[in-house]
């Protein structure tokens, strides 16, 4: 298990990026404050599940 923040950091690192490289979080219709989003990400736990076809 990991939190969404750590998962995001790992994905950014795989692209030679950091949290500082994030320009905005949102879509063309909405935007969330980046610092607030990062704070919320630290509280969200991700449970990795792998589905295997029999």
State the residue for tokens 């969330």. Answer: 32
pLDDT digits 0-9 by tens, 30-44: 888 888 988 988 888
- Going by C-beta distance under 8 Å and a sequence separation of 6 or more, which residues neighbour residue 54? none
User: How confident is the prediction along the chain (54 residues), in pLDDT tens digits per residue?
Assistant: 678 889 889 999 999 999 999 988 888 898 888 889 889 888 888 766 655 666
């Amino acid at each position: 298990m990991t939190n969404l923040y750590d998962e995001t950091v790992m994905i950014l690192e795989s692209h030679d990026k950091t949290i500082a490289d994030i320009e905005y979080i949102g879509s063309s219709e909405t935007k969330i404050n980046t610092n607030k989003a990062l704070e919320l990400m630290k509280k969200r736990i991700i449970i990795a599940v792998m589905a295997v076809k029999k």
